[in-house]
Amino acid sequence: MHQFHPSILREYDIRGIIGETLSTADARAIGQAFGTMVREEGRETRVCVGRDGRLSSPELEEAVVEGLLASGTAVIRIGLGPTPMLYFAQKTLGTAGAIQITGSHNPPNHNGFKMMKGGKPFFGDGIRALGEMAASGSWASGSATVQTVDVRADYLKALLGGFSAGGKDLTVVWDPGNGAAGDMLQALVARLPGRHVVINAAIDGHFPNHHPDPTDPHTLVQLQEAVASEKAALGIAFDGDGDRLGVVDDRGRILWGDQFMVLLAKEVLAAHPGAPIIADVKASQLLFDQIAAMGGRPVVGRTGHSLIKTLMAEIGSPLAGEMSGHIFFADRYYGFDDALYAATRLLSIVARLPGTLGEWFDTLPRLVNTPELRFECADDAKVGVIETVRARLKKEGAEMSEVDGVRVLRPQGWWLLRASNTQAVLVARAEAKTETDLTILTKDLADYLVDAGLTPPDLMTTPTSHG
């Protein structure tokens, strides 16, 4: 029997702090429980295993493999690389499951596991069932084989398939942030036209230059400086495991996921007229309006990469994305979030623009919004807060979406309140056409929080202009 620290079994993955809440014993138990679940479901029992560049990842990978083998599950080791390379291996090798050891964008002393089973994301009830199996010790035992397979050449070929020739050559600055995408990125840009400058390419689990999280503007400062000094057409950054990207235009301005998705959606809708395009509930209304104006069907999805991938498969969406920079292509690709592939698609589009990326960005309507606002609320209270707010809004006949929390439409714009699936926090955001309207919206949201028994934090902080 094995008991996990209660904090590590999350909604979308398993994550913890090395030496405090996560150990190699945990990794072995994860392998044996996951292998048992795979064996219970079918004749195909092979599982791919990969890892990122964190200092603790090699020993965690070794322990996961030991657990899988102990359950009688055959293992294919993919080695060091970005999480999307593991997803690619699972799809192309046809294995029953996949486990990536990765701490994603978390601090260096954190690590975790992202998983697939039966070709689908493994999350939610699956992770809870894994924890229950480990606690009961009711897992399979046996012996199996392990082999190492190098998929890098095939993966590189798939990435290059995202680039369409034509248009002008570009100077591009890339920043993998010393994360797991570094080696594959260098192989990729060596095959792309144009001039490419890669900073922080070495995979280094200390992350000596900056934290690998492109949703944090502070982590993009070095990229912005390099774009300016190299007179580049754009800059592209990745998170620690290469499944999210950040974009900087030729003037050093940050384009968030719900902004550069407008360009991606235009190309996809040209090939799939009227198709459903998914964006998460935090995305700008501008994106949904642009999708509709281009003849697509905008779909609001719940935040979370596993949930987005599941919804894509259910409704046949060729493209989906999150404000956080997870971009999912089912058009000409496999439907999982791959920042390297999304970057090649974006480069093709920028190369064919009549002007610069910055000039295109200037054509978008300017909106004003708060950043994503996260404030503490106990796990046993946060759902009740959302329900209280929702009940009042319904009583008032408010126009809103209930896909993930409440997204409320007002004459001035919209505001969002949702409960985090992974932390004891509530998440809020608001967007309007002017700062005056944004102030009205944040005061409106604060009123509902007070009514739900909370003392609202500063819901405005520093508003940003948002195309």
Catalytic center residues: 104
Q: Which of 124, 126, 129, 56 is nearest to 97 (CA)?
A: 126
d(CA 173, CA 196): 6
Helix axes 83-93, 339-351, angle to 10 degrees: 100
- Gap between the Cα atoms of 168 and 352, Å rounded: 7
Three-state SS string over the chain comes to CCCCCCCCECCCCEEEEECCCECHHHHHHHHHHHHHHHHHHCCCCCEEEEECCCCCHHHHHHHHHHHHHHCCCCEEEEEECCHHHHHHHHHHHCCCEEEEECCCCCCCCEEEEEEEECCEECCCHHHHHHHHHHHHCCCCCCCCCEEECCCHHHHHHHHHCCCCCCCCCCEEEEECCCCCCHHHHHHHHCCCCCEEEECCCCCCCCCCCCCCCCCCHHHHHHHHHHHHHHCCCEEEEECCCCCCEEEEECCCCEECHHHHHHHHHHHHHHHCCCCEEEEECCCCHHHHHHHHHCCCEEEEECCCHHHHHHHHHHHCCCEEECCCCCEEECCCCCCCECHHHHHHHHHHHHHCCCCCHHHHHHCCCCEEECCCEEEECCHHHHHHHHHHHHHHHHHHCCEEECCCCEEEEECCEEEEEEECCCCCEEEEEEEECCHHHHHHHHHHHHHHHHHCCCCCCCCCCCCEEEC
CA distance 203 to 194: 24
Which two three-digit tokens encode residue 370?
A: 């708060």
Which amino acid type is present at position 28?
Answer: R
> Scanning the structure block, which residue is given the tokens 């949904």?
288
Total count of residues recorded for the chain? 467
